[in-house]
Amino acid sequence: MVESSYPVEIAPPDIEPYRKGNTGIDYFTTFDSGKPGPHVLVNALTHGNEICGAIAVDRIFREGVRPAHGKLTLGFANVVAFKSFDTRNPTASRFVDEDINRVWDPAVLDGPRKSAELARAREMRPLIDSVDLLLDIHSMQHATQPLMLAGLLDRSLELAHRLAAPRLIVRDRGHSAGRRMRDYSGFGDPGSAKTALLIECGQHWERASVDVAHDIAWRFLAASGVLPRPETERQRARPPARQRVITVTHAVTIESDRFEFAADYRGLEVIAKTGTVIGRDGEREVTTPYDDCVLIMPSRRLTRGQTAVRLGRFG
User: What spatial distance separates the first Cα and last Cα of the chain, rounded to whole Å?
Assistant: 30
Burial class (CB in 10 A: 0-12, 13-18, 19+), 26: middle
CA distance 140 to 209: 9
One digit per residue, pLDDT tens: the chain, 315 residues? 555 689 999 999 999 999 999 999 999 999 999 999 999 999 999 999 999 999 999 999 999 999 999 999 999 999 999 999 999 999 999 999 999 999 999 999 999 999 999 999 999 999 999 999 999 999 999 999 999 999 999 999 999 999 999 999 999 988 888 999 999 999 999 999 999 999 999 999 999 999 999 999 999 999 999 999 999 999 988 999 999 999 999 999 999 999 999 999 999 999 999 999 999 999 999 999 999 999 999 998 899 999 999 999 998
- C-alpha to C-alpha distances, 218 to 6, 78, 142, 159, 165, nearest whole angstrom: 27, 22, 24, 13, 11
Structural domains present in the chain: 3-242 (3.40.630.10), 247-314 (2.40.50)
Q: Kindly report the backbone phi and psi dihedral angles of residue 61, in degrees, each rounded to the nearest multiple of 5, phi listed first.
A: -55, -50
Provide the pLDDT for residue 2.
55
Provide the pLDDT for residue 3.
58
List CB contacts of 201: < 8 A, sequence separation 6 or more.
52, 53, 137, 138, 139, 140, 146, 209, 210, 212, 213, 216
Long-range CB contacts for residues 159-163, cutoff 8 Å, separation at least 24? 159/133, 159/195, 159/197, 159/223, 160/197, 160/243, 161/243, 162/223, 163/197, 163/216, 163/219, 163/220, 163/223
pTM of the model: 0.94
CA-based nearest residue to 181, from 99, 246, 93? 99
Sign of CA dihedral 113, 258, 267, 291: negative
Provide the pLDDT for residue 131.
98
Name residue 149's beta-bridge partners: 170, 198
Between CA 104 and CA 90, with CA 140 as vertex, the angle to 5 degrees is 95
Measured in whole angstroms, the distance separating CA 3 from the mean position of its chain's CA atoms is 17
Provide the pLDDT for residue 300.
84
Sign of CA dihedral 137, 139, 143, 147: negative
